[in-house]
């Protein structure tokens, strides 16, 4: 029986974005695809139906098909998956449709000067009813697909001055839309944001009327791109993360999507593509260990995992030479299904503000260089130092989620609401512990006295206790007579004139550390052992002891729980994945004799390693489990039975 998406752990994704003049199925090898399906045994497949050029790779009656179709490859995928009881989803480009804009230029997004966007359709236009919904109905009713993954959506949504948007705004408000620099510009941007979510809800509702069991999502909705509270009834969340430094990307993107209350999965770009584009043919197909490191990051956070490769020869064939690698990847993933739908053990939260994109961009949703970029750097810093962390969104503060965490990290943010800051202050007052990055100190000046946030960019040397970390970074200019918990120096040696690198304020029962330099800016360009020690020392100042401790710097610790058991995921994070010029690699050095300490007041029933259900020798003394993991190739899980409530 085919699995519903919420029960689907492993998938494969093949698309190819048929181009102008493309012949679909120039060659046709269903037997190779059948071999992959038999090897990999996925729970679901996502196959090509329409790419960003807007040309469908099947003989559509509702849209515009590719130049020539030799074979119906969508029927091929449906037949092959149906024979094997595998669910099939269409990869279907939504707002990104260049052909529709050629045929209907008045449907395009327009900027404030009236210039047409030649790639993205206005969600206010008739496109959704006249093209998108009829095509999805074809997939659901004629081809009997099980669902659709709508691509090119929130990340391609813009402030829209098309007639469709302007007229709707005037009808609702009686006003002309504001432009950049106007007082109510953000009001109009929010109107456009709602236009996007209304558009998604509309096509979901219309498809459900004819196929209630058809499962559908919009790529990257309610993810790092959209940190607001979910308000659209998609069936699952999903996104394809960056192929450069992909292990780190999977690490943070999983944390940004896993806390939303939906079933979710992430997709590995199975090729390292230059540039990162759906157009380029400059693709190196990844090796086994690359897929596995990425999969481990996703799986360890309780999500489903997919890998993506393009289909070649006009969509009629896949890389037969890669089948042995993909089979090994599938085996690696299947062995770890015990992690699926596990939940985080809550220790350290990193706050993700409901950020609006800055006014110097037309984009409606998040960009990596803004709020998410700073969140990303904090998550990487914590995980690089074996602190298992989670992301909470700003709306979670209003749902009392913060009280479940011992530590809150507040990255630099321009977007935290005043009411949110009040909730955080109350959290501190009641015993919470907070580390606040430089620019976010402005939200807490009434309890710290740090009211002048004038900065200067300068070379400083931050004290990591046993060494100094050099960095050129924004630094708080004003000195305060407050309790210091870290210092920096003007030269690369210890002298008698240190400056405050962090202040510590006690407020009620809790503590607030205010950083005097931009930590995320520093960590982006100046990763060092001394800066890592600085971070560890701040957490130590807050009397924080992590549940899981290990002193191996190459281990990524992800602490989860499932069915009353603690799942301590240990990921081998070593290797060259962070070097941009390294496109593929076949090996990472194994880690040996990893000492692990797990702090718990409950004596475990049993401790074993997965995969393999290998019983572990351990010592339980003074509320601490001690054990040694002999070897980690890529990923192992220490399962501690029966200690979670």
Q: Is 343 helix (H, G, I), strand (E, B) or coil?
A: strand
Q: Is 561 helix (H, G, I), strand (E, B) or coil?
A: strand
Q: Which residue has the tokens 């009641």?
A: 430
- Nearest Cα to Cα of residue 631 among 599, 575, 588, 600: 588
What is residue 191's predicted lDDT score, i.e. its pLDDT? 97
* Alpha-carbon torsion, ordered 64, 68, 72, 74, to 10 deg: -50
Where do the domains of the chain lie?
5-339, 345-541, 548-640
CA 101 to chain centre: 30
Please state, in angstroms and rounded to a whole number, the distance separating the CA atoms of residues 492 and 69.
67
- Which segments within 225-295 are labelled E, that is strand? 237-240, 264-269, 271-273, 283-285
Q: Which helix (H) or strand (E) holds 23?
A: strand 23-24
CA 403 to chain centre: 24
Asked if residue 402 lies in contact with residue 423, where contact means CB atoms within 8 angstroms, the answer is yes
Give, in order, the Cα–Cα distances in Å from 363 to each of 115, 125, 367, 376, 556. Answer: 15, 18, 8, 20, 34
Domain 345-541 indexed as CATH 3.40.50.880: yes
Preceding amide of 611 cis, omega within 30: yes
What residues contact residue 324 under an 8 Å CB cut-off, 6+ apart? none
First to last CA, the chain: 33
Asked if residue 501 lies in contact with residue 534, where contact means CB atoms within 8 angstroms, the answer is yes
pLDDT band at 245 (very low <50, low <70, confident <90, very high): very high
Nearest 5 degrees, angle CA 358-CA 361-CA 365?
A: 70
Residue 645 has pLDDT above 80, yes or no: no
- What string of H, E and C letters represents the secondary structure of 452-519? CCCEEEEEEEEECCCCEEEEEEEEECCCCCCCEEEEEECCCCCCCCCEEEEEEEEECCEEEEEECECH
- 548-640 CATH fold: Immunoglobulin-like (2.60.40)
CB burial of residue 32 (10 Å; 0-12, 13-18, 19+): middle
Query: Beta-carbon neighbour count of residue 615 at 10 Å?
Result: 10
DSSP lists the bridge partners of residue 15 as 310
Per-residue pLDDT reduced to its tens digit, 187-229 = 999 999 999 999 999 999 999 999 999 999 999 999 999 999 9
- The mean per-residue pLDDT over the stretch 618-644 comes to 97
Sign of dihedral through CA atoms 472, 478, 484, 489?
positive
Q: Which residue has the tokens 């990596």?
A: 368
CB burial of residue 603 (10 Å; 0-12, 13-18, 19+): exposed
What is residue 370's predicted lDDT score, i.e. its pLDDT? 80
The token pair that represents 471 in the structure block: 């960095």
What is residue 554's predicted lDDT score, i.e. its pLDDT? 97
Per-residue pLDDT reduced to its tens digit, 484-505 = 999 999 999 998 889 999 999 9
DSSP assignments along 25-47, one per residue: TSS--HHHHHHHHHHH--SEEEE
Please state, in angstroms and rounded to a whole number, the distance separating the CA atoms of residues 296 and 571.
7
Q: Which residue has the tokens 């996007």?
A: 196
Pairing of strands 548-549, 455-463: unpaired
The token pair that represents 90 in the structure block: 């269409």
The token pair that represents 446 in the structure block: 């009434």
- The mean per-residue pLDDT over the stretch 315-330 comes to 95
Per-residue pLDDT reduced to its tens digit, 422-470 = 999 999 999 999 999 999 999 999 999 999 999 999 999 999 989 999 9
Give, in order, the Cα–Cα distances in Å from 206 to each of 129, 145, 531. Answer: 9, 16, 53
CA 126 to chain centre: 31
DSSP assignments along 143-202, one per residue: S--SEEEEES-GGG-B---SHHHHHHHHHHHSSPPP-TTSTTHHHHHHHHHHHHHHHHHH
pLDDT band at 361 (very low <50, low <70, confident <90, very high): confident
The token pair that represents 79 in the structure block: 């037949």
- What string of H, E and C letters represents the secondary structure of 293-336? HHHHHHHCCCCEEEEEEECECCCCECCHHHHHHHHHHHHHHHCC
Give the 3-state secondary structure percentages of the chain, helix then strand then coil, rounded to 5: 30, 30, 40
pLDDT band at 395 (very low <50, low <70, confident <90, very high): very high
Top-tier CATH class for 5-339: alpha beta
Give, in order, the Cα–Cα distances in Å from 244 to each of 239, 381, 523. Answer: 15, 18, 18
Sign of dihedral through CA atoms 275, 277, 280, 281?
positive
What residues contact residue 431 under an 8 Å CB cut-off, 6+ apart? 508, 509, 510
What is residue 496's predicted lDDT score, i.e. its pLDDT? 82
**What pTM, to 2 d.p., does this model score?**
0.96
Residue 366 has pLDDT above 80, yes or no: no
CB burial of residue 343 (10 Å; 0-12, 13-18, 19+): middle
Per-residue pLDDT reduced to its tens digit, 63-84 = 999 999 999 999 999 999 999 9
Give the largest CA-CA distance in the chain: 79
What is residue 368's predicted lDDT score, i.e. its pLDDT? 57
Burial 308-339 (b: 16+ CB within 10 A, else e): bbbbbebbbbbbeebbebbbbbbebbeebebb
Asked if residue 122 lies in contact with residue 107, where contact means CB atoms within 8 angstroms, the answer is yes
Residue 576 has pLDDT above 60, yes or no: yes
Please state, in angstroms and rounded to a whole number, the distance separating the CA atoms of residues 617 and 499.
48
Mean pLDDT across the chain: 96
Residue 333 has pLDDT above 90, yes or no: yes
Please state, in angstroms and rounded to a whole number, the distance separating the CA atoms of residues 456 and 460.
11
Preceding amide of 272 cis, omega within 30: no
Asked if residue 500 lies in contact with residue 479, where contact means CB atoms within 8 angstroms, the answer is yes
What is residue 367's predicted lDDT score, i.e. its pLDDT? 66
Per-residue pLDDT reduced to its tens digit, 298-309 = 999 999 999 999
pLDDT band at 321 (very low <50, low <70, confident <90, very high): very high
């Amino acid at each position: 029986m085919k699995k519903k998406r919420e029960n689907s752990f492993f998938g494969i994704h093949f698309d190819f974005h048929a181009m102008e003049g493309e012949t679909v199925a120039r060659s046709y090898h269903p037997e190779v695809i059948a071999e992959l399906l038999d090897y990999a045994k996925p729970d679901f497949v996502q196959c090509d139906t329409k790419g960003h050029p807007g040309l469908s790779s099947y003989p559509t009656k509702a849209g515009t098909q590719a130049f020539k179709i030799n074979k119906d490859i969508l029927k091929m995928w449906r037949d092959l998956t149906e024979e094997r009881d595998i669910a099939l989803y269409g990869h279907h480009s939504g707002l990104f449709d260049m052909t529709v804009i050629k045929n209907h230029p008045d449907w395009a997004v327009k900027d404030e000067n009236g210039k047409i966007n030649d790639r993205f359709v206005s969600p206010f236009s008739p496109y959704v009813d006249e093209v998108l919904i009829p095509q999805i109905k074809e997939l659901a009713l004629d081809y009997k697909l099980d669902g659709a993954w709508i691509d090119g959506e929130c990340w391609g949504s813009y402030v829209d001055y098309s007639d469709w948007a302007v007229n709707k705004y005037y009808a609702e408000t009686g006003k002309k839309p504001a432009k950049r620099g106007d007082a109510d510009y953000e009001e109009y941007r929010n109107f456009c944001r709602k236009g996007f979510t209304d558009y998604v809800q509309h096509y979901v509702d219309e498809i459900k009327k004819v196929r209630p069991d058809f499962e559908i999502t919009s790529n990257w909705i309610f993810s790092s791109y959209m940190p607001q509270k979910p308000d659209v009834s998609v069936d699952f969340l999903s996104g394809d993360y960056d192929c450069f430094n992909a292990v780190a990307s999977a690490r943070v993107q999983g944390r940004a999507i896993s806390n939303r209350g939906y079933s979710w999965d992430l997709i590995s770009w199975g090729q390292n593509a230059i540039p990162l584009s759906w157009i380029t043919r400059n693709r190196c197909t990844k090796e086994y260990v690359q897929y596995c490191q990425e999969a481990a990051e996703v799986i360890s956070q309780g999500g489903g995992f997919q890998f993506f490769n393009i289909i070649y020869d006009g969509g009629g064939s896949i890389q037969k030479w890669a089948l042995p690698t993909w089979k090994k990847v599938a085996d690696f993933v299947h062995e770890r299904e015990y992690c699926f739908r596990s939940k985080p053990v809550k220790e350290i939260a990193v706050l993700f503000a409901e950020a609006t994109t800055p006014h110097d961009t037309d984009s409606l949703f998040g960009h990596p260089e803004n709020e998410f970029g700073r969140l990303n750097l904090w998550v990487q810093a914590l995980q690089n130092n074996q602190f298992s962390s989670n992301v909470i969104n700003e709306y979670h503060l209003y749902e009392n989620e913060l009280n479940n965490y011992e530590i809150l990290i507040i990255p630099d943010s321009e977007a935290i609401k005043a009411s949110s800051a009040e909730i955080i202050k109350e959290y501190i007052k009641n015993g919470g512990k907070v580390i606040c990055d430089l620019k976010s100190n402005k939200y807490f000046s009434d309890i710290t006295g740090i009211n002048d946030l004038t900065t200067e960019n300068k070379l400083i040397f931050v004290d990591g206790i046993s060494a100094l970390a050099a960095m050129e970074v924004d630094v708080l200019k004003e000195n305060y007579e407050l309790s210091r918990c870290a210092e920096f120096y003007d030269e690369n040696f210890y002298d008698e004139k240190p400056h405050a690198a962090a202040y510590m304020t006690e407020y009620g029962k809790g503590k607030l550390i205010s950083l005097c330099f931009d930590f995320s800016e520093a960590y982006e360009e100046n990763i060092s052992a001394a800066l890592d020690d600085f971070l560890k020392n701040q957490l130590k100042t807050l009397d924080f002891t992590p549940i899981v401790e290990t002193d191996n710097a190459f281990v990524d610790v992800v602490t989860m729980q499932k069915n009353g058991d603690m799942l301590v995921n240990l990921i081998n994070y070593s290797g060259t994945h962070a070097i941009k010029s390294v496109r593929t690699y076949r090996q990472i050095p194994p880690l040996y004799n990893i000492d692990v300490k797990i702090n718990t007041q409950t004596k475990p029933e049993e401790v074993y390693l997965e995969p393999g259900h290998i019983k572990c020798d351990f010592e339980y003394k003074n509320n601490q489990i001690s054990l040694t993991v002999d070897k980690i190739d890529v990923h192992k899980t220490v399962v501690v039975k029966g200690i979670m409530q």
